[in-house]
Structures are given as structure tokens and as C-alpha cells.
């Protein structure tokens, strides 16, 4: 079904409607002008014919005044009878200066003053050629009486007296000629069709040009918006990398400063335990010192890993073997004993990556999945997948936990953000940083049936 949700389609529909309205409106407006133009042309033709007839047959003022005279009758009949042979001629009347009909193809009108347009007759007596369209309700005899008939064009043409061998003397009478409008209407209709065709053709040409321009601008804008969005994402990724690097350097410096004295505390506590004077009390105190020192050292070493991420060594690595090793490490870990199922794929995939960093990133995702649903199975899968039209490999970790909210989604990869009281908030941010260093990205989504999927996407070709 055709929907107008697409701006180019909406523009096309509106433009076509405007073009159709313009063509129809122009035709309706131009129809009266076409009709009047053709009527005026018909009147000019009749004028030239009457001029030639009056000169050729030497019609005079006396003939008009003495129209009852036999000789005048013959001259008038000889002069104007030829007009009855004109195609479409329906009625012919010749008026003298008294506006009396002195000759007609209907002899019953001779001697009368019947006319449906006395004003136009008066103008014709003044030397102007007049033409008027008579509707079907206009009677040929008088324009006022009788039954309705076909539509006609009535021309009032002045008849000039002969002077100096030419018919350029004063007006001695007026010829009124009624003609059938069938040919005229056909000509008008053909003219309207031609007008509509020309306007419609130019309108369609204009529509095609405007549509092409609009589509070009629209799709260029969409492309620019898409490129800008990509640049924005890339900028955010670069900013995050820079932040992580700066933070890693800062935390690394602090960790190095703290790590040395903590090691000394542990060593001294071990020596103190051996030199027992008050065995119970000293052992108790030294055990607490050792425990606190060990916990601080573990935290410091965990923070030091951020700085180690900035240094990587790429090797050709079998991704499936890397995933298996990571899952084995999870099974052997004291804190992460859990059922992790690996869904193996058929194709063998080898990427140029740092296996230590990728293993650490995958371990962080599996660890988070286990903590999200401790009583459920975690599933790991490796598939070939494209991201933004770039071929690559997707390492997906799926859990059966509660998922994450929209508010949490915006903060998932921010360092030190966590929803667990015992969490450090570095797992996902470190995984994202590792993926970015390899030209990839970590993706997160809630599953329709519950749970969440976190995936590490890596390109087939590593960035230089």
C-alpha cells in the first residue's frame, strides 16, 4: 500500500495534485478566451467576405433604402445569396440604416426589425464588427420569440458604400450572419486539449526536475545525517579511549605508589607471625594486617589492569579456541564456578587480535552474566556478523537475568558505574575499551523473553 510517510513520496503526491489542479484550472479559465478568439476570427472572415461582395456587386445606399424595388431586390439577392452556401450558415439578415431587414434567406423577415442584439447592431452601424455567442435558447428569427434551437454565433458586419472604387465609404447597412457552433466548439475543444497537453507536459517536466532535485537534496541530507551520526559515535569512542588512557595513567601512577608499601606490610606481617611473644594476640593482629594488605593489593592490581589495556600485542588467534580457554578459566575460577555453555559454530575464524585482552573482555562479560542470574545457565556463541556493513565476528554472552532499564542503558559502559553494591563498575568499560582498541564495539540488548545479551563485535580486518 502506498504510504506518504516518506518525504519524497509526499512531495510527489502534492506536486501531482497541484499540476492536475493547474491544468484543469487553466483550461477552465482559458476556455472563454478561446471561444471569444475563435468567434472574433469568424467575424473577421465574414467581414472580409461582405466587404468583397459589396464592392463586387456595387451595393449602394439606394438599394438599402429602396429594398422593395425589383432591381434592388435582384441586386441584393445576387450579392448576399452566396453567403447561404457557407458551411454552418443558419440565418442571414441585412439591415439598412433604419435597422430594417432589407434582405434575408427567410423572406418573412424582410421589412421587420427583429434582432436579439440591438446594441451590437447599433455598434455595427457605427462601423464596428460585432460577434456574439447565442445559446440554445436563442431563436434565429428574433432572439426573443419561438422555441429554442441550436447554439449559434451571430456576426454583425457593417456594409460600406463604394467610394473611389473601394468599399471605404460610409456605412449603408449591416449584415447579420448566424453560424452553427459545432465546428467552432470542435476547434475550441481541440485547442483546449492542446493547451492541457502543453501545460501538462511542462508541468510533468517541472515535476520530474523538482522531484529529482528534492530527492537528491533529501537523500544527501540523510547521508549527511548518517555520516554525522557515525562521526559523533566515533568521536564519543575516541573521547572514551582518551579518557580511559588518561585515567589509566593516573590510576597506574597511584597504584604504583600504593603497591610497594602494601607489599612491605605483607612481608612484615609474615615475619611478625614467626617471632611470637604473645602468640595469640600477635597472630590475631598480624592476620588482620595481612588480610587488609592482601585486599588492598588485589584492588590496586585490578585498577592496574586498566593501564595495561593501553599496551597490546596483536597475534593471529583462533577465536573458537580463545572462547574455550576463557570458559575453562571460568570453570576453574574459585569465584566464578558456574555452568557456561558454548554453542560452537561451523566456520573456523582467525583474527589478528591480542588474545590476552580479548580473553579478559570476554571473561568480564561472562562474569557479569553469571552475577545477573546465578541459578541459570550462561550461553556463549560465536557467529559471523556484519556491523554497519563491515564483516566481522560476534562473541555473544546471553544470560537469563532481569536485563537492564533504559536509564541504565545510557550508563552501562561508563567507568565505575555499577548496579551491584560489591561491584567495581570497571568490567563493561574495560571490555568496551578493549573492543575499541581492536576496531570493534561491545553491544548490549534486552531479550524479548527475558535476560540480556552482551556481544563483542570484532572486524575481520584489524585496524592499522
C-alpha of 362 from chain center: 43
Q: How confident is the model at residue 292 (pLDDT cuts 50, 70, 90)?
A: low
Q: Is the pLDDT of residue 152 over 90?
A: no
CA distance 419 to 422: 9
| Least trusted range by pLDDT, from 44-48, 279-283, 410-414 | 279-283
Using CB atoms within 10 Å of the CB of residue 372, give its burial: 0 to 12 exposed, 13 to 18 middle, 19+ buried: buried
Instruction: Residue 289: count other Cβ atoms within 10 Å of its Cβ.
Output: 17
The confidence score (pLDDT) of residue 298 equals: 58
Q: Is the pLDDT of residue 35 over 80?
A: no
CA distance 173 to 167: 12
Domain with CATH 3.30.450.20 in the chain: 7-180
The confidence score (pLDDT) of residue 145 equals: 35
Residues making up the chain, counted from first to last: 464
Whole-number average pLDDT of the chain: 78
Indicate the Cα dihedral angle 8, 11, 17, 23, nearest 10°: -100
The confidence score (pLDDT) of residue 425 equals: 64
The confidence score (pLDDT) of residue 151 equals: 75
Percent share of the chain, pLDDT over 90: 11
| Least trusted range by pLDDT, from 151-160, 323-332, 409-418 | 409-418
Triad 255, 258, 261: Cα angle to 5°: 145
**Where does 310-426 have alpha helices with state H?**
319-332, 355-372, 406-409
Contact 415, 248 (CB under 8 A): no
CB burial of 321-350 (b: ≥16 within 10 Å; e: otherwise) equals ebbeebbeebeeeeeeebebebeeeeeebe
Domain with CATH 3.30.565.10 in the chain: 314-459
Cβ partners under 8 Å of residue 304, min gap 6 = 251, 252, 255, 256, 259
Average pLDDT over residues 52-74: 87
Domain with CATH 1.10.287 in the chain: 213-311
Instruction: Residue 449: count other Cβ atoms within 10 Å of its Cβ.
Output: 6
Give the residue, 133 or 301, on which the prediction is more confident.
Answer: 133
CA distance 326 to 333: 10
For the segment 78-109, what is each residue's pLDDT rounded down to a tens digit? 888 888 888 878 889 999 999 999 999 888 89
CA distance 55 to 44: 17
The confidence score (pLDDT) of residue 115 equals: 85
Q: Is the pLDDT of residue 147 over 50?
A: no
| Interstrand relation of 130-134 and 441-446 (parallel, antiparallel or unpaired) | unpaired
Percent share of the chain, pLDDT over 70: 73
Average pLDDT over residues 267-295: 65
Task: For residue 177, list its beta bridge partners.
Answer: 92, 155
Q: How confident is the model at residue 1 (pLDDT cuts 50, 70, 90)?
A: very low
7-180, what's its fold? Beta-Lactamase (3.30.450)
**Could you tell me which of 322, 394, 388, 378 has the C-alpha nearest to residue 355?**
322
Q: What angle in degrees, to the nearest 10, is found between the helix axes of 355-372 and 319-332?
A: 50
C-alpha of 142 from chain center: 63
Q: Which helix (H) or strand (E) holds 153?
A: strand 152-160
Q: Which helix (H) or strand (E) holds 396?
A: strand 390-399
Q: Global pTM?
A: 0.41
Q: Is the pLDDT of residue 132 over 80?
A: yes
> How many separate helices (H) and strands (E) can be counted in the chain?
10, 12
The confidence score (pLDDT) of residue 203 equals: 77
CA distance 360 to 366: 10
Q: How confident is the model at residue 335 (pLDDT cuts 50, 70, 90)?
A: low
| Interstrand relation of 452-459 and 101-104 (parallel, antiparallel or unpaired) | unpaired
| Interstrand relation of 452-459 and 441-446 (parallel, antiparallel or unpaired) | antiparallel
213-311, what's its fold? Helix Hairpins (1.10.287)
Triad 59, 65, 68: Cα angle to 5°: 95
| Least trusted range by pLDDT, from 152-156, 164-168, 169-173 | 164-168
At residue 411, the 3 state secondary structure works out as coil
Q: How confident is the model at residue 207 (pLDDT cuts 50, 70, 90)?
A: confident
Contact 338, 374 (CB under 8 A): yes
Q: How confident is the model at residue 53 (pLDDT cuts 50, 70, 90)?
A: confident
Q: Is the pLDDT of residue 3 over 60?
A: no
Q: How confident is the model at residue 144 (pLDDT cuts 50, 70, 90)?
A: very low
CATH classification (class only), 314-459 = alpha beta
Amino acid at each position: 500500500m502506498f504510504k506518504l510517510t516518506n518525504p519524497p513520496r509526499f512531495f510527489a503526491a502534492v506536486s501531482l495534485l497541484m499540476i492536475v489542479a493547474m491544468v484543469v484550472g487553466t483550461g477552465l479559465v482559458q476556455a472563454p478566451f478561446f471561444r471569444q478568439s475563435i468567434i472574433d476570427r469568424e467575424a473577421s472572415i465574414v467581414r472580409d467576405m461582405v466587404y468583397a461582395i459589396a464592392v463586387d456587386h456595387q451595393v449602394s445606399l439606394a438599394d438599402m433604402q429602396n429594398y422593395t424595388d425589383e432591381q434592388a431586390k435582384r441586386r441584393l439577392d445576387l450579392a448576399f445569396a452566396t453567403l447561404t452556401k457557407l458551411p454552418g450558415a443558419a440565418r442571414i439578415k441585412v439591415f439598412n440604416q433604419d435597422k430594417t431587414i432589407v434582405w434575408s434567406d427567410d423572406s418573412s423577415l424582410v421589412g421587420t426589425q427583429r434582432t436579439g442584439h440591438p446594441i451590437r447592431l447599433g455598434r455595427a452601424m457605427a462601423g464596428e464588427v460585432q460577434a456574439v455567442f447565442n445559446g440554445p435558447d436563442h431563436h434565429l428569427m428574433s432572439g426573443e420569440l419561438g422555441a429554442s434551437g441550436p447554439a449559434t454565433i451571430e456576426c454583425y458586419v457593417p456594409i460600406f458604400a463604394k467610394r473611389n472604387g473601394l468599399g471605404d465609404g460610409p456605412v449603408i447597412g449591416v449584415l447579420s450572419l448566424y453560424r452553427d457552433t459545432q465546428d467552432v466548439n470542435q476547434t475550441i475543444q481541440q485547442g483546449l486539449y492542446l493547451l492541457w497537453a502543453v501545460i501538462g507536459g511542462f508541468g510533468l517536466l517541472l515535476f520530474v526536475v523538482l522531484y529529482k532535485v528534492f530527492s537528491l537534496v533529501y537523500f544527501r541530507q540523510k547521508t549527511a545525517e548518517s555520516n554525522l551520526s557515525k562521526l559523533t559515535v566515533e568521536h564519543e569512542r575516541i573521547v572514551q579511549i582518551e579518557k580511559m588512557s588518561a585515567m589509566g595513567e593516573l590510576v597506574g601512577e597511584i597504584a604504583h605508589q600504593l603497591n610497594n608499601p602494601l607489599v612491605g606490610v605483607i612481608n612484615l606481617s609474615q615475619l611478625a607471625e614467626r617471632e611470637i611473644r604473645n602468640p595469640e594476640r600477635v597472630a590475631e593482629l598480624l592476620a588482620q594486617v595481612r588480610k587488609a594488605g592482601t585486599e588492598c593489593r588485589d584492588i590496586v592490581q585490578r585498577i592496574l589492569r586498566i593501564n595495561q589495556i593501553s599496551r597490546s600485542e596483536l597475534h593471529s588467534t583462533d577465536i573458537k579456541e580463545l572462547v574455550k580457554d576463557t570458559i575453562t578459566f571460568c570453570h576453574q575460577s574459585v569465584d566464578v564456578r558456574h555452568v557456561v555453555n558454548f554453542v560452537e559454530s561451523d566456520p573456523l575464524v582467525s583474527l589478528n587480535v591480542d588474545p590476552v585482552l580479548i580473553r579478559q573482555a570476554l571473561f568480564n562479560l561472562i562474569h557479569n552474566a553469571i552475577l545477573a542470574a546465578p541459578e541459570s545457565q550462561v550461553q556463549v556463541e560465536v557467529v559471523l556478523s556484519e556491523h554497519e556493513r563491515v564483516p566481522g565476528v560476534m562473541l555473544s554472552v546471553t544470560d537469563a537475568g532481569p536485563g537492564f532499564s533504559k536509564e541504565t542503558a545510557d550508563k552501562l559502559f561508563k567507568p565505575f558505574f555499577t548496579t551491584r553494591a560489591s561491584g567495581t563498575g570497571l568490567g563493561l568499560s574495560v571490555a568496551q575499551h578493549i573492543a575499541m582498541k581492536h576496531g570493534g564495539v561491545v553491544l548490549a540488548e534486552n531479550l524479548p523473553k527475558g535476560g540480556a545479551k552482551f556481544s563483542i563485535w570484532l572486524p575481520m580486518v584489524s585496524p592499522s
